[in-house]
Chain A
Protein backbone atom coordinates (compact mmCIF):
# COMPACT_ATOMS: atom_id res chain seq x y z
CA UNK A 1 0.00 0.00 0.00
CA UNK A 2 1.51 3.35 -0.99
CA UNK A 3 2.13 5.76 1.81
CA UNK A 4 2.17 9.46 1.07
CA UNK A 5 5.64 10.97 0.91
CA UNK A 6 6.75 12.21 4.32
CA UNK A 7 6.81 15.86 5.18
CA UNK A 8 5.65 18.67 2.98
CA UNK A 9 4.02 16.79 0.15
CA UNK A 10 1.90 19.78 -0.79
CA UNK A 11 -1.24 17.71 -0.91
CA UNK A 12 -4.46 19.19 0.40
CA UNK A 13 -5.58 18.04 3.86
CA UNK A 14 -8.76 16.69 2.30
CA UNK A 15 -6.77 14.55 -0.09
CA UNK A 16 -4.60 13.21 2.69
CA UNK A 17 -7.62 12.49 4.84
CA UNK A 18 -9.38 10.70 2.02
CA UNK A 19 -6.25 8.74 1.29
CA UNK A 20 -5.88 7.78 4.96
CA UNK A 21 -9.51 6.81 5.22
CA UNK A 22 -9.24 4.57 2.17
CA UNK A 23 -6.08 2.97 3.52
CA UNK A 24 -7.78 2.30 6.85
CA UNK A 25 -10.72 0.72 5.10
CA UNK A 26 -8.39 -1.43 3.02
CA UNK A 27 -6.36 -2.25 6.15
CA UNK A 28 -9.44 -3.43 8.03
CA UNK A 29 -10.67 -5.47 5.07
CA UNK A 30 -7.37 -7.31 4.81
CA UNK A 31 -6.89 -7.78 8.56
CA UNK A 32 -10.42 -9.14 8.76
CA UNK A 33 -9.71 -11.69 6.06
CA UNK A 34 -6.62 -12.92 7.82
CA UNK A 35 -7.77 -13.04 11.42
CA UNK A 36 -11.51 -12.53 11.67
CA UNK A 37 -13.40 -9.75 13.41
CA UNK A 38 -12.57 -10.47 17.06
CA UNK A 39 -8.83 -10.62 16.46
CA UNK A 40 -8.70 -7.45 14.35
CA UNK A 41 -7.65 -4.48 16.50
CA UNK A 42 -7.41 -0.77 15.79
CA UNK A 43 -3.61 -1.05 16.18
CA UNK A 44 -3.47 -3.78 13.54
CA UNK A 45 -5.60 -1.78 11.17
CA UNK A 46 -3.47 1.31 11.71
CA UNK A 47 -0.26 -0.65 11.19
CA UNK A 48 -1.44 -2.05 7.88
CA UNK A 49 -2.67 1.32 6.73
CA UNK A 50 0.47 3.11 7.92
CA UNK A 51 -1.79 5.40 9.88
CA UNK A 52 -1.30 6.29 13.54
CA UNK A 53 -3.87 5.28 16.11
CA UNK A 54 -4.74 8.89 16.84
CA UNK A 55 -5.26 9.50 13.12
CA UNK A 56 -7.50 6.43 13.02
CA UNK A 57 -9.76 8.08 15.55
CA UNK A 58 -9.93 11.22 13.46
CA UNK A 59 -11.76 9.15 10.85
CA UNK A 60 -13.68 6.61 12.87
CA UNK A 61 -15.10 6.48 16.37
CA UNK A 62 -14.50 2.76 16.68
CA UNK A 63 -13.55 -0.46 14.96
CA UNK A 64 -17.25 -1.06 14.34
CA UNK A 65 -17.63 2.21 12.49
CA UNK A 66 -14.59 1.44 10.36
CA UNK A 67 -16.05 -1.97 9.63
CA UNK A 68 -19.32 -0.49 8.43
CA UNK A 69 -17.46 1.95 6.17
CA UNK A 70 -15.36 -0.92 4.82
CA UNK A 71 -18.46 -2.99 4.22
CA UNK A 72 -20.16 -0.16 2.33
CA UNK A 73 -17.02 0.42 0.25
CA UNK A 74 -16.79 -3.27 -0.63
CA UNK A 75 -20.43 -3.49 -1.70
CA UNK A 76 -20.02 -0.33 -3.76
CA UNK A 77 -17.05 -1.78 -5.61
CA UNK A 78 -18.86 -4.98 -6.38
CA UNK A 79 -22.03 -3.24 -7.46
CA UNK A 80 -20.09 -0.90 -9.76
CA UNK A 81 -18.40 -3.80 -11.48
CA UNK A 82 -21.68 -5.68 -12.01
CA UNK A 83 -23.53 -2.55 -13.16
CA UNK A 84 -20.88 -1.72 -15.76
CA UNK A 85 -21.01 -5.27 -17.10
CA UNK A 86 -24.79 -4.86 -17.45
CA UNK A 87 -24.38 -1.50 -19.18
CA UNK A 88 -21.74 -2.81 -21.57
CA UNK A 89 -24.16 -5.54 -22.60
CA UNK A 90 -27.28 -3.41 -22.73
CA UNK A 91 -28.15 -4.32 -26.32
CA UNK A 92 -27.77 -8.05 -25.73
CA UNK A 93 -30.48 -10.56 -24.93
CA UNK A 94 -31.25 -11.01 -21.27
CA UNK A 95 -29.43 -14.34 -20.78
CA UNK A 96 -26.23 -12.89 -22.23
CA UNK A 97 -26.48 -9.80 -20.05
CA UNK A 98 -27.00 -11.97 -16.97
CA UNK A 99 -24.02 -14.11 -17.98
CA UNK A 100 -21.81 -11.04 -18.34
CA UNK A 101 -22.90 -9.74 -14.93
CA UNK A 102 -22.26 -13.04 -13.18
CA UNK A 103 -18.91 -13.38 -14.92
CA UNK A 104 -17.86 -9.90 -13.81
CA UNK A 105 -19.04 -10.58 -10.25
CA UNK A 106 -17.15 -13.84 -9.92
CA UNK A 107 -13.96 -12.45 -11.45
CA UNK A 108 -14.07 -9.51 -9.05
CA UNK A 109 -14.60 -11.77 -6.03
CA UNK A 110 -11.97 -14.32 -7.08
CA UNK A 111 -9.36 -11.65 -7.58
CA UNK A 112 -10.08 -10.16 -4.19
CA UNK A 113 -10.80 -12.81 -1.56
CA UNK A 114 -10.80 -10.20 1.22
CA UNK A 115 -13.60 -8.37 -0.58
CA UNK A 116 -15.50 -11.62 -1.00
CA UNK A 117 -15.05 -12.43 2.66
CA UNK A 118 -16.20 -9.13 4.09
CA UNK A 119 -19.31 -8.93 1.92
CA UNK A 120 -20.39 -12.56 1.92
CA UNK A 121 -19.22 -13.90 5.27
CA UNK A 122 -18.28 -11.24 7.80
CA UNK A 123 -21.22 -9.08 6.86
CA UNK A 124 -23.64 -11.70 8.09
CA UNK A 125 -21.93 -12.14 11.40
CA UNK A 126 -21.58 -8.53 12.43
CA UNK A 127 -25.02 -7.86 13.86
CA UNK A 128 -28.22 -6.19 12.81
CA UNK A 129 -26.89 -2.96 11.30
CA UNK A 130 -24.59 -4.68 8.86
CA UNK A 131 -27.14 -7.40 8.10
CA UNK A 132 -29.48 -4.60 7.00
CA UNK A 133 -26.82 -3.51 4.53
CA UNK A 134 -26.33 -7.08 3.29
CA UNK A 135 -30.05 -7.28 2.68
CA UNK A 136 -30.10 -3.93 0.84
CA UNK A 137 -27.16 -4.99 -1.31
CA UNK A 138 -28.87 -8.21 -2.36
CA UNK A 139 -32.07 -6.31 -3.10
CA UNK A 140 -30.22 -4.01 -5.47
CA UNK A 141 -28.88 -7.00 -7.37
CA UNK A 142 -32.42 -8.35 -7.70
CA UNK A 143 -33.47 -5.22 -9.61
CA UNK A 144 -30.49 -5.63 -11.94
CA UNK A 145 -31.46 -9.24 -12.55
CA UNK A 146 -35.08 -8.42 -13.29
CA UNK A 147 -34.32 -5.81 -15.93
CA UNK A 148 -35.51 -7.33 -19.15
CA UNK A 149 -36.16 -10.72 -17.59
CA UNK A 150 -38.37 -12.86 -19.85
CA UNK A 151 -42.02 -13.47 -19.14
CA UNK A 152 -42.84 -17.06 -18.17
CA UNK A 153 -44.40 -19.25 -20.90
CA UNK A 154 -47.99 -18.35 -20.01
CA UNK A 155 -47.03 -14.69 -20.41
CA UNK A 156 -46.94 -14.23 -16.65
CA UNK A 157 -43.88 -12.61 -15.13
CA UNK A 158 -41.80 -14.70 -12.79
CA UNK A 159 -42.76 -13.80 -9.21
CA UNK A 160 -40.60 -11.17 -7.45
CA UNK A 161 -39.53 -13.88 -5.09
CA UNK A 162 -37.77 -15.73 -7.91
CA UNK A 163 -35.15 -13.01 -8.21
CA UNK A 164 -34.78 -12.75 -4.44
CA UNK A 165 -34.35 -16.50 -4.09
CA UNK A 166 -31.83 -16.65 -6.94
CA UNK A 167 -29.71 -13.80 -5.60
CA UNK A 168 -29.96 -15.12 -2.03
CA UNK A 169 -29.00 -18.59 -3.21
CA UNK A 170 -25.96 -17.37 -5.13
CA UNK A 171 -24.79 -15.26 -2.18
CA UNK A 172 -25.23 -18.22 0.16
CA UNK A 173 -23.30 -20.58 -2.13
CA UNK A 174 -20.47 -18.10 -2.63
CA UNK A 175 -20.29 -17.38 1.10
CA UNK A 176 -19.93 -21.06 1.89
CA UNK A 177 -17.13 -21.41 -0.63
CA UNK A 178 -15.30 -18.43 0.82
CA UNK A 179 -15.64 -19.98 4.29
CA UNK A 180 -14.14 -23.16 2.90
CA UNK A 181 -11.09 -21.20 1.74
CA UNK A 182 -12.04 -21.36 -1.94
CA UNK A 183 -12.47 -17.65 -2.66
CA UNK A 184 -9.85 -17.65 -5.40
CA UNK A 185 -11.69 -20.39 -7.28
CA UNK A 186 -15.09 -18.71 -7.32
CA UNK A 187 -14.90 -17.90 -11.03
CA UNK A 188 -14.87 -21.66 -11.74
CA UNK A 189 -18.49 -21.75 -10.60
CA UNK A 190 -19.61 -19.56 -13.50
CA UNK A 191 -21.38 -22.21 -15.64
CA UNK A 192 -23.19 -23.69 -12.64
CA UNK A 193 -24.34 -20.35 -11.29
CA UNK A 194 -25.47 -19.18 -14.72
CA UNK A 195 -27.46 -22.37 -15.27
CA UNK A 196 -29.05 -22.05 -11.82
CA UNK A 197 -30.05 -18.43 -12.51
CA UNK A 198 -31.42 -19.01 -16.00
CA UNK A 199 -33.38 -22.14 -15.06
CA UNK A 200 -35.39 -20.23 -12.46
CA UNK A 201 -36.78 -18.08 -15.30
CA UNK A 202 -36.50 -20.26 -18.42
CA UNK A 203 -36.70 -23.79 -17.11
CA UNK A 204 -33.90 -26.34 -16.92
CA UNK A 205 -33.79 -27.40 -20.56
CA UNK A 206 -33.45 -23.95 -22.06
CA UNK A 207 -31.00 -22.88 -19.37
CA UNK A 208 -28.78 -25.85 -20.09
CA UNK A 209 -28.94 -25.23 -23.84
CA UNK A 210 -27.88 -21.62 -23.41
CA UNK A 211 -25.05 -22.44 -21.01
CA UNK A 212 -23.59 -25.18 -23.21
CA UNK A 213 -23.76 -22.90 -26.23
CA UNK A 214 -21.61 -20.27 -24.41
Chain B
Protein backbone atom coordinates (compact mmCIF):
# COMPACT_ATOMS: atom_id res chain seq x y z
CA UNK B 1 0.00 0.00 0.00
CA UNK B 2 2.69 2.41 1.04
CA UNK B 3 4.77 1.37 -1.92
CA UNK B 4 2.02 1.96 -4.44
CA UNK B 5 1.39 5.48 -3.10
CA UNK B 6 5.08 6.27 -3.46
CA UNK B 7 5.10 4.78 -6.93
CA UNK B 8 2.33 7.05 -8.09
CA UNK B 9 4.20 10.08 -6.88
CA UNK B 10 7.12 9.29 -9.15
CA UNK B 11 6.67 9.51 -12.90
CA UNK B 12 9.72 8.31 -14.81
CA UNK B 13 10.64 10.71 -17.57
CA UNK B 14 12.65 9.04 -20.25
CA UNK B 15 12.81 12.30 -22.17
CA UNK B 16 16.11 12.83 -20.39
CA UNK B 17 17.38 9.80 -22.30
CA UNK B 18 16.15 10.97 -25.73
CA UNK B 19 17.45 14.48 -25.18
CA UNK B 20 20.91 13.15 -24.44
CA UNK B 21 20.96 10.31 -26.95
CA UNK B 22 24.17 11.69 -28.44
CA UNK B 23 25.96 11.34 -25.09
CA UNK B 24 24.87 7.73 -24.73
CA UNK B 25 26.00 6.96 -28.26
CA UNK B 26 29.39 8.52 -27.59
CA UNK B 27 29.62 6.52 -24.38
CA UNK B 28 29.02 3.29 -26.28
CA UNK B 29 31.75 4.15 -28.80
CA UNK B 30 34.21 5.02 -26.03
CA UNK B 31 33.43 1.79 -24.18
CA UNK B 32 33.92 -0.27 -27.35
CA UNK B 33 37.16 1.58 -28.09
CA UNK B 34 38.58 0.89 -24.61
CA UNK B 35 37.45 -2.73 -24.61
CA UNK B 36 38.72 -3.56 -28.11
CA UNK B 37 42.14 -1.99 -27.45
CA UNK B 38 42.42 -3.72 -24.09
CA UNK B 39 41.41 -7.10 -25.49
CA UNK B 40 43.90 -6.83 -28.35
CA UNK B 41 46.75 -6.26 -25.87
CA UNK B 42 45.26 -8.68 -23.37
CA UNK B 43 45.12 -11.52 -25.91
CA UNK B 44 48.81 -11.03 -26.71
CA UNK B 45 49.55 -11.15 -22.98
CA UNK B 46 47.38 -14.25 -22.73
CA UNK B 47 49.27 -16.05 -25.50
CA UNK B 48 52.61 -15.01 -23.98
CA UNK B 49 51.41 -16.06 -20.55
CA UNK B 50 50.20 -19.43 -21.82
CA UNK B 51 53.56 -20.00 -23.53
CA UNK B 52 55.24 -19.14 -20.22
CA UNK B 53 52.94 -21.39 -18.19
CA UNK B 54 53.57 -24.39 -20.45
CA UNK B 55 57.27 -23.65 -20.94
CA UNK B 56 60.05 -26.03 -19.91
CA UNK B 57 61.88 -23.12 -18.29
CA UNK B 58 61.07 -23.01 -14.59
CA UNK B 59 61.55 -19.24 -14.31
CA UNK B 60 59.01 -18.55 -17.09
CA UNK B 61 56.52 -20.91 -15.43
CA UNK B 62 56.86 -19.22 -12.05
CA UNK B 63 56.63 -15.68 -13.44
CA UNK B 64 53.58 -16.49 -15.59
CA UNK B 65 51.98 -18.38 -12.70
CA UNK B 66 52.48 -15.48 -10.29
CA UNK B 67 51.06 -13.04 -12.85
CA UNK B 68 47.92 -15.16 -13.24
CA UNK B 69 47.35 -15.71 -9.53
CA UNK B 70 47.95 -12.11 -8.46
CA UNK B 71 45.57 -10.63 -11.02
CA UNK B 72 42.89 -13.29 -10.67
CA UNK B 73 42.78 -13.08 -6.89
CA UNK B 74 42.55 -9.30 -6.41
CA UNK B 75 39.62 -7.04 -7.37
CA UNK B 76 39.81 -5.17 -10.65
CA UNK B 77 39.00 -1.90 -8.86
CA UNK B 78 42.10 -2.24 -6.66
CA UNK B 79 44.24 -3.05 -9.71
CA UNK B 80 42.87 0.06 -11.41
CA UNK B 81 43.54 2.29 -8.41
CA UNK B 82 47.02 0.83 -8.12
CA UNK B 83 47.85 1.62 -11.74
CA UNK B 84 46.29 5.09 -11.73
CA UNK B 85 47.09 6.37 -8.23
CA UNK B 86 49.92 4.08 -7.12
CA UNK B 87 52.26 3.97 -10.10
CA UNK B 88 52.72 7.77 -10.42
CA UNK B 89 54.45 7.73 -7.03
CA UNK B 90 57.22 5.61 -8.53
CA UNK B 91 57.39 7.86 -11.58
CA UNK B 92 54.97 6.10 -13.95
CA UNK B 93 52.32 8.69 -14.72
CA UNK B 94 49.52 7.99 -17.16
CA UNK B 95 46.19 9.45 -18.17
CA UNK B 96 43.01 7.88 -16.84
CA UNK B 97 42.29 6.48 -20.30
CA UNK B 98 45.72 4.85 -20.51
CA UNK B 99 45.43 3.45 -16.99
CA UNK B 100 42.00 2.07 -17.85
CA UNK B 101 43.24 0.26 -20.96
CA UNK B 102 46.37 -0.98 -19.18
CA UNK B 103 44.42 -2.35 -16.21
CA UNK B 104 41.78 -3.99 -18.41
CA UNK B 105 44.42 -5.50 -20.70
CA UNK B 106 46.50 -6.93 -17.86
CA UNK B 107 43.41 -8.30 -16.14
CA UNK B 108 42.12 -9.85 -19.36
CA UNK B 109 45.61 -11.22 -20.02
CA UNK B 110 45.67 -13.06 -16.69
CA UNK B 111 42.32 -14.77 -17.28
CA UNK B 112 43.04 -15.56 -20.92
CA UNK B 113 46.43 -17.02 -19.96
CA UNK B 114 44.63 -19.71 -17.98
CA UNK B 115 42.04 -20.26 -20.71
CA UNK B 116 44.61 -20.56 -23.52
CA UNK B 117 46.85 -22.72 -21.35
CA UNK B 118 44.01 -25.19 -20.92
CA UNK B 119 43.67 -25.27 -24.71
CA UNK B 120 47.40 -25.72 -25.28
CA UNK B 121 47.56 -28.56 -22.76
CA UNK B 122 44.73 -30.25 -24.61
CA UNK B 123 46.86 -30.57 -27.76
CA UNK B 124 48.17 -34.10 -27.81
CA UNK B 125 51.86 -34.76 -28.28
CA UNK B 126 51.11 -36.89 -31.31
CA UNK B 127 49.81 -33.85 -33.17
CA UNK B 128 53.06 -31.97 -32.61
CA UNK B 129 55.08 -35.01 -33.70
CA UNK B 130 52.89 -35.30 -36.77
CA UNK B 131 53.63 -31.66 -37.55
CA UNK B 132 57.35 -32.29 -37.12
CA UNK B 133 57.32 -35.31 -39.39
CA UNK B 134 55.53 -33.24 -42.02
CA UNK B 135 58.57 -30.94 -41.98
CA UNK B 136 56.91 -27.95 -40.25
CA UNK B 137 59.26 -25.40 -38.75
CA UNK B 138 59.05 -24.66 -35.04
CA UNK B 139 57.08 -21.44 -35.49
CA UNK B 140 54.77 -23.10 -38.00
CA UNK B 141 54.06 -25.89 -35.54
CA UNK B 142 53.36 -23.34 -32.83
CA UNK B 143 50.96 -21.43 -35.03
CA UNK B 144 49.15 -24.15 -37.00
CA UNK B 145 49.35 -27.18 -34.71
CA UNK B 146 49.30 -25.65 -31.22
CA UNK B 147 47.93 -22.08 -31.11
CA UNK B 148 45.04 -22.07 -33.58
CA UNK B 149 43.56 -25.44 -32.53
CA UNK B 150 44.03 -24.43 -28.87
CA UNK B 151 42.26 -21.11 -29.44
CA UNK B 152 39.53 -22.91 -31.33
CA UNK B 153 39.00 -25.37 -28.50
CA UNK B 154 38.72 -22.69 -25.81
CA UNK B 155 36.94 -20.14 -28.00
CA UNK B 156 33.65 -20.17 -26.02
CA UNK B 157 35.51 -19.51 -22.77
CA UNK B 158 37.41 -16.65 -24.38
CA UNK B 159 34.15 -15.11 -25.58
CA UNK B 160 32.74 -15.22 -22.03
CA UNK B 161 35.91 -13.50 -20.87
CA UNK B 162 35.42 -10.78 -23.49
CA UNK B 163 31.89 -10.25 -22.17
CA UNK B 164 33.30 -9.98 -18.64
CA UNK B 165 35.83 -7.41 -19.93
CA UNK B 166 32.95 -5.31 -21.30
CA UNK B 167 31.21 -5.43 -17.92
CA UNK B 168 34.48 -4.69 -16.09
CA UNK B 169 35.10 -1.68 -18.33
CA UNK B 170 32.28 0.09 -16.47
CA UNK B 171 34.55 0.14 -13.40
CA UNK B 172 37.07 2.46 -15.09
CA UNK B 173 34.53 5.28 -14.67
CA UNK B 174 35.85 5.35 -11.09
CA UNK B 175 39.12 6.93 -12.23
CA UNK B 176 37.14 9.26 -14.55
CA UNK B 177 38.10 7.42 -17.71
CA UNK B 178 35.39 8.38 -20.17
CA UNK B 179 33.08 5.59 -21.26
CA UNK B 180 29.43 4.60 -20.99
CA UNK B 181 29.16 4.47 -17.20
CA UNK B 182 31.06 7.74 -16.89
CA UNK B 183 28.50 9.33 -19.23
CA UNK B 184 25.76 7.93 -16.98
CA UNK B 185 27.31 9.41 -13.85
CA UNK B 186 27.79 12.73 -15.60
CA UNK B 187 24.18 12.93 -16.79
CA UNK B 188 22.93 11.74 -13.41
CA UNK B 189 24.75 14.52 -11.62
CA UNK B 190 23.25 17.12 -13.99
CA UNK B 191 19.68 15.88 -14.29
CA UNK B 192 19.17 13.81 -11.08
CA UNK B 193 17.19 11.33 -13.20
CA UNK B 194 19.23 8.46 -11.81
CA UNK B 195 16.64 5.71 -12.32
CA UNK B 196 15.97 6.44 -16.00
CA UNK B 197 19.64 6.94 -16.83
CA UNK B 198 21.02 3.89 -15.04
CA UNK B 199 18.21 1.68 -16.35
CA UNK B 200 18.93 2.83 -19.91
CA UNK B 201 22.66 2.29 -19.48
CA UNK B 202 22.09 -1.20 -18.06
CA UNK B 203 19.96 -2.08 -21.09
CA UNK B 204 22.63 -0.67 -23.41
CA UNK B 205 25.17 -3.00 -21.77
CA UNK B 206 22.82 -5.92 -22.36
CA UNK B 207 22.60 -4.87 -26.03
CA UNK B 208 26.40 -4.60 -26.30
CA UNK B 209 26.81 -8.06 -24.74
CA UNK B 210 24.32 -9.60 -27.17
CA UNK B 211 25.98 -7.80 -30.07
CA UNK B 212 29.37 -9.21 -29.06
CA UNK B 213 27.95 -12.71 -28.71
CA UNK B 214 26.48 -12.43 -32.22
CA UNK B 215 29.79 -11.21 -33.68
CA UNK B 216 31.62 -13.96 -31.81
CA UNK B 217 29.35 -16.54 -33.39
CA UNK B 218 30.12 -15.20 -36.86
CA UNK B 219 33.87 -15.22 -36.13
CA UNK B 220 33.64 -18.79 -34.91
CA UNK B 221 31.92 -19.88 -38.12
CA UNK B 222 34.51 -18.12 -40.25
CA UNK B 223 37.79 -18.87 -38.50
CA UNK B 224 37.24 -21.75 -36.12
CA UNK B 225 34.91 -23.92 -38.19
CA UNK B 226 37.62 -26.59 -38.14
CA UNK B 227 37.06 -27.25 -34.43
CA UNK B 228 34.13 -29.49 -35.27
CA UNK B 229 36.60 -31.97 -36.81
CA UNK B 230 38.86 -32.04 -33.74
CA UNK B 231 37.98 -34.52 -31.08
Are chains A and B native binding partners rather than an unrelated pairing?
no
